[in-house]
Amino acid sequence: MAIRIAVIGTGGIAHAHGDAYKKLGDRVEFVACADLDLAKAQKYAEEYGIPANKAYDNCYDMLKENEIDAVSVTTWNSAHAECTIAALNAGCHVFCEKPMAMNAEEAKAMKEAAEKNGKILMLGFVRRHGNDAKSALNLIKEGYMGDIYYAKASYLRRCGFPGGWFGDKSRSGGGPLIDLGVHVIDLARYIMGNPKPVSAYGATFDKLGARSEVALSADDWQSTTETEKPIFDVEDLATAMVRFDNGAVLHVEASFNLNIKTPTTTVEFFGDKAGLSFTPFELHTVVDNKLADIAIQGDTGFHFSNSFAAEAKNFIDAIEGKAELVANAEDGVTLMKILDAIYLSAQTGKSVDIE
């Protein structure tokens, strides 16, 4: 029987979810959707073959009036906890977009709701599903890297504020750290074997603001939501060091706006046998007492739609008991703890311990 799917928050990323589910053919059936903006929900319903009377302006009526097995939560960040918990309590499995929530406290409540209801809660850490991540894990398993003791994660935009609610701290929880940094911090932690974070030291800046007067970089993500007036009360740059219980350290940097020449989204790992960079995907090592850079052939890239397809498939496979989740609620909570610690450290100027 097809898994009956519903979507809460039918803006931009909801389409990546919808298109990914579509690729699963008759394993899924779109049954309903909801958005605070009913017109958006209706348009989405039309696009994905959902009956017009199954487009709602709130998730509560949608969950009450329909038989739904699984829900994608693709709202702005401040609604993730509320909508996820409502869906779990209504007996649905949930695929929640990153970041899991506004903070670790909300994230823990979501994890508890999943456990209480015996339902799956998957986190939208799509970078875990890239070919680069898979190849990196294989290289590590085959022993090419040795012990990884340092990593770097960068998601730096030169002029890439996504607009709308992304600049409104009450709905986003923060700026590029919680929006972009979350992707590469999680990716780095995943490749390093999900070590437990123990402390963080960070700094945030808001020197450039929204930079709305400057022409945007064409490829960067834009929210589909308009705000009544422009809001930008979040950081425009964050940088931090995160220490893990195995002694390894991760340096992270994320910006919406920065006076940098070349924007970058990448991670690098440094082991005692070799280093590994993702862009380009290369090992850096020593061969015959000479420095050597080894380029790995084949598809070792991150492709947006293929990775969303792999992510949605993992969700449906897990619901059907055919696979373990690649990114589970615990991974989401851990990430929120790291982000909370970095933001607190940026405020206090001191290193913050992570429980």
Q: Which residues bind ligand NAD (CB under 6 A)?
A: 8-13, 34-37, 40, 59, 74-77, 79, 83, 97-98, 124, 126, 164-165, 179, 221, 223-225
Tokens standing for 32?
Answer: 């309903």
**Which helix (DSSP H) or strand (DSSP E) does residue 204 occupy?**
strand 197-205
> Phi/psi class of residue 107: alpha, beta or left (left: φ > 0; alpha: ψ in -120 to 50)?
alpha
* Minimum separation from the CB atom of position 153 to ligand NAD (A): 15
Q: Are 238 and 185 in contact (CB under 8 A)?
A: no
- State which residue, 57 or 284, has the beta carbon closest to ligand NAD: 57
End-to-end CA, the chain: 43
What minimum distance in Å lies between the beta carbon of 146 and ligand NAD?
31
Name which of 281 and 302 has its Cβ closer to ligand NAD.
Answer: 302
Task: Find the shortest distance in angstroms from Cβ 270 to ligand NAD.
Answer: 26
Q: Would you say 73 or 120 has its CB closer to ligand NAD? A: 73
* Residue nearest ligand NAD by beta-carbon distance: 11
Give the nearer residue to ligand NAD in terms of CB position, either 130 or 275.
Answer: 130
Helix, strand, or coil here: 159?
strand
Q: How far is the CB of 134 from ligand NAD (least distance, A)?
A: 17
Q: What percent of the chain is helix, strand and coil (3-state, nearest 5)?
A: 40, 25, 35
Q: Which is nearer to ligand NAD, 83 or 145 (CB)?
A: 83
Alpha carbons 170 and 355: distance in angstroms, whole number: 25
What letter represents residue 324's amino acid?
E
Residues 6+ apart with CB under 8 A from 62: 6, 8, 32, 33, 34, 54, 56, 68
Q: Which is nearer to ligand NAD, 2 or 216 (CB)?
A: 216
Minimum CB distance to ligand NAD, residue 136 (Å): 19
Shortest distance (Å) from residue 290 CB to ligand NAD? 40
> Look-up: residue for tokens 């589910």?
21
Residue 42 main-chain phi, psi, to 5 deg: -65, -40
